[in-house]
Amino acid sequence: MEFKHDVVIVGTGLAGLRAAVEMPEGTDVALISKVYPTRSHSGAAQGGIAAALGNEEPDHPEWHMVDTIKGGDFLTDQDAAEVLAGDAPRAIFELEHMGVPFNRTPGGTIAQRAFGGHTREFGKAPVKRACHASDRTGRVILDTLYGQALRKGIKSYDEFQLLDLIRQGNRVVGLVVYELATGEIHLFQSRVVLLATGGFGKVFKTTSNCFANTGDGVYLAYKAGIPLQDMEFVQFHPTGIYGLGVLITEAARGEGGVLRNGDGERFMERYAPTLKDLAPRDMVSRAIAQEIREGRGVAHKDFVHLDLTHLGKERLKEKLSDISSFVRIYLGIDPSREPIPVQPTCHYMMGGIPTNLDGQVLDKDDQIMQGLFAAGECACVSVHGANRLGCNSLLDLVVFGRRAGKKMVENLPEISWTALPDRPEQGVLGAIDGLKKGKGREKTWQIRKEMQETMTESCSIFRHREGLTRGLAKIRELLERYEGIQIRDHGQRFNTDLLEALELASLLHLAHVSLVSSLNREESRGAHFREDYPERDDRNWLKHTLVEKGDPTPRVFYKPVRITRFEPKPRTY
């Protein structure tokens, strides 16, 4: 079928929904979700959303801005950090007015708690900046924004999978979309498209990400010729449940929890004497990996303990109830009595589709692509630089989702309808046909497993040239073997066998770009740590990486970091 909407928003997490809600009455806007909107991965965010409200203790947006820049190891574009921190209080009050059930202070204002890397007076001590609803903050904001979208009567195409962007010159004029329930291929013609498709943590073996996080939007932008920015910066959250990767929020440490090694030592005191367990995530994850490497994992194994036993049952129940239940279900542990075995888990991609401060996608010449926007984890503003701070992601989604929405509305009158090219779905149909009728013997799960193992071995917390080179060769081999996949389900309805094979193409290409970027950056900055180049090198590397698809190898180039007010300094906590 052919659908026609002025505005099409792909992805119904916080960024997509917040942009949708910004559309004035009467705008013809449609949402596309690969799941149901309330099942989007924003809902898995636990600990909070940052804003310098000062409800619990003095705070200031400028402190938040500087924390964000320093947290990103000075790769953060400072104008973006200023927008993020400056707009945060307004964004939180707006969410509250929409109905988000935030926890409250005794005085009835929004309650706040400490989070990693958020400090008072430029690093003096942790500050309570994270607004929260127990440890279900993402979920309740998602529910609230979904409610607002319903209130506005916004049309949503659920369980529709984006398969291609239709590009005409420097414009995206429509989308090729697959309806999971029927197997039909649809064309969506539009004047403006927003990609809000999330991240791709599924390139790694252990991740806090959902199965749906396969980076479809990011890959399709790359495929359409848009370069990807800062793809070497992958966040490993320090506290994933051992073996499973399920997230234990940083709020556990914000509420007073501590990490202990096999000797029972609170080792973060050695790595970050001021902030200790509340140092930024890249540093805490690296510290855990270092402890394990040096044989100080618990029982000499590859995990450490997150100790919440001193917090008391009441506090766990009120402020950390979901994670308490995860630990009980998956490990059989009562966190009020026993410490939790944790290890770093792939959590968030700092890199993605380059945009300006209004979500407009930038092409290889840093020019605005007309009619194409991106927001949220799939985008790279870059507001998180080389390492995102906890609680800045939900904030990014609502701040930049709204800004993208506003700009879309503003641009609409200037953008006319453009006819779709002839049979734009042809490429997609060919790919599907190939997967169904392939003569090869390759299996989706086998290639995916090898990709995840390769990325985990070569592109995790510690990286070096040899490992990255090996990883790159392996991913190239897997990209070739992908052509030999044959799926078993040849039916039309809910063909998740086909869906997984299509998603794997996105994952493989994004793994490839991440490896190319990681191998290229010969320094250590934020989440990107090169054992062969262990220092930050501002003289040569204070710049953003861009990778453009090329034949046969991608092209790597750079653009400067926007430094407005704060010169890079050594990063200690």
Partner 1 sequence: MEKQFKIFRFDPEKDSRARYQQYKVFAEPTERILDCLNRIKWDQDGTLAYRMSCGHGVCGSDAMRINGRCALACQKLVKEYEGKEVVLEPLPSFPVLKDLIVDMERFFARVRLVRPYLIAASEPPERERVQTPEDSRKLDEVIRCILCGCCTAACPVTAQNEAFLGPATLVWAFRTIFDTRDDRHTERLGQVDRPDGAWGCVNHFECTRVCPKEIPVTKSINAIKREIEKVFEK
Round to whole Å and give the CA distance between 474 and 471. 5
What does the angle CA 231 – CA 236 – CA 237 come to, to the nearest 5 degrees?
140
Asked whether position 322 contacts partner 1 by CB under 8 A, the answer is yes
Beta bridge partners of 379: 353
Choose between 142 and 259: whose C-beta lies nearer to partner 1.
Answer: 142
Q: Which of residues 164-193 bind partner 1 (CB under 8 A)?
A: 181
Choose between 243 and 430: whose C-beta lies nearer to partner 1.
Answer: 243
Q: Which of 2, 25, 108, 300 binds partner 1 (CB under 8 A)?
A: 108
Q: Which of 281, 286, 388, 536 is catalytic?
A: 281
Beta bridge partners of 380: 354
258 φ/ψ angles, rounded to the nearest 5 degrees: -130, 155
Q: Which of residues 74-93 bind partner 1 (CB under 8 A)?
A: 92-93
Nearest distance in Å: CB 413, partner 1: 29
Asked whether position 336 contacts partner 1 by CB under 8 A, the answer is no
Asked whether position 301 contacts partner 1 by CB under 8 A, the answer is no
Judge residue 168's burial from the number of C-beta atoms within 10 Å of its C-beta, 0-12 exposed, 13-18 middle, 19 or more buried: middle
Asked whether position 98 contacts partner 1 by CB under 8 A, the answer is yes
Asked whether position 492 contacts partner 1 by CB under 8 A, the answer is yes
Nearest distance in Å: CB 44, partner 1: 5
Choose between 91 and 275: whose C-beta lies nearer to partner 1.
Answer: 91
Asked whether position 536 contacts partner 1 by CB under 8 A, the answer is no
325: number of Cβ within 10 Å: 12
Choose between 408 and 498: whose C-beta lies nearer to partner 1.
Answer: 498
- Applying CB under 8 A, the span of 249-257, 494-502, 505-513, 547-555 interacting with partner 1 comes to 494-502
Q: Which of 2, 25, 97, 314 binds partner 1 (CB under 8 A)?
A: 97
Asked whether position 493 contacts partner 1 by CB under 8 A, the answer is yes
| Cβ(447)–Cβ(514) below 8 Å | no
- Applying CB under 8 A, the span of 147-155, 393-401, 411-419, 461-469 interacting with partner 1 comes to 147-155
Asked whether position 244 contacts partner 1 by CB under 8 A, the answer is yes
State how far the alpha carbon of 123 is from the alpha carbons of 99, 383, 487, 526, in Å.
33, 19, 53, 17
Helix (H, G, I), strand (E, B) or coil at 127: strand
Nearest distance in Å: CB 135, partner 1: 11
The DSSP secondary structure of 68-101, one letter per residue, reads HHHHTTT-S-HHHHHHHHHHHHHHHHHHHHHT--
What single-letter DSSP state applies at residue 389?
P
Choose between 60 and 171: whose C-beta lies nearer to partner 1.
Answer: 60
Sign of the dihedral through C-alpha 537, 539, 541, 543: positive
Q: Which of 56, 62, 143, 548 binds partner 1 (CB under 8 A)?
A: 143
Place of tokens 């989007």: 40
- Applying CB under 8 A, the span of 134-142, 385-393, 524-532, 550-558 interacting with partner 1 comes to 134-142
Q: Which of 1, 24, 57, 104 binds partner 1 (CB under 8 A)?
A: 104
State how far the alpha carbon of 249 is from the alpha carbons of 223, 281, 319, 463, in Å.
34, 11, 11, 25
What single-letter DSSP state applies at residue 228?
E
Nearest distance in Å: CB 299, partner 1: 17
| Cβ(131)–Cβ(104) below 8 Å | no
Q: Which of 139, 191, 237, 530 binds partner 1 (CB under 8 A)?
A: 139
- Applying CB under 8 A, the span of 321-329, 399-407, 453-461, 535-543 interacting with partner 1 comes to 321-329
| Cβ(390)–Cβ(250) below 8 Å | yes
Nearest distance in Å: CB 331, partner 1: 8
Choose between 100 and 127: whose C-beta lies nearer to partner 1.
Answer: 100
Closest by CA position to 5, among listed 27, 23, 25, 29: 29
Asked whether position 109 contacts partner 1 by CB under 8 A, the answer is yes
Q: Which of 56, 148, 296, 431 binds partner 1 (CB under 8 A)?
A: 148
Q: Which of 5, 118, 128, 136 binds partner 1 (CB under 8 A)?
A: 136
Asked whether position 302 contacts partner 1 by CB under 8 A, the answer is no
Contacts of 155 (CB under 8 A, 6+ apart): 5, 29, 30, 31
**Token pair for residue 499?**
């869906």
Q: Can 281 be counted among the known catalytic residues?
A: yes
Asked whether position 553 contacts partner 1 by CB under 8 A, the answer is no
Asked whether position 334 contacts partner 1 by CB under 8 A, the answer is no
Asked whether position 110 contacts partner 1 by CB under 8 A, the answer is yes
Nearest distance in Å: CB 1, partner 1: 18
Q: Which of 78, 444, 458, 518 binds partner 1 (CB under 8 A)?
A: 444
Place of tokens 């709020």: 251
438: number of Cβ within 10 Å: 15
**Biggest CA-to-CA distance, the chain:** 68
| Cβ(389)–Cβ(280) below 8 Å | yes
Judge residue 92's burial from the number of C-beta atoms within 10 Å of its C-beta, 0-12 exposed, 13-18 middle, 19 or more buried: buried
39 φ/ψ angles, rounded to the nearest 5 degrees: -105, 10
Nearest distance in Å: CB 49, partner 1: 13
Choose between 77 and 87: whose C-beta lies nearer to partner 1.
Answer: 87
Helix (H, G, I), strand (E, B) or coil at 255: coil
Q: Which of residues 194-233 bind partner 1 (CB under 8 A)?
A: 210-212
Half-sphere exposure of 330 (CA within 13 A, CB side): 18
Number of H helices and E strands in the chain, helices first, is: 16, 20
What are the catalytic residues? 281
Which residues lie near partner 1 (CB under 8 A)? Answer: 35-36, 38-41, 43-44, 53, 92-93, 96-99, 101-111, 133-134, 136, 139-140, 143-144, 146-148, 150-151, 181, 210-212, 244, 246, 318, 322, 325-326, 329-330, 443-445, 487-489, 491-497
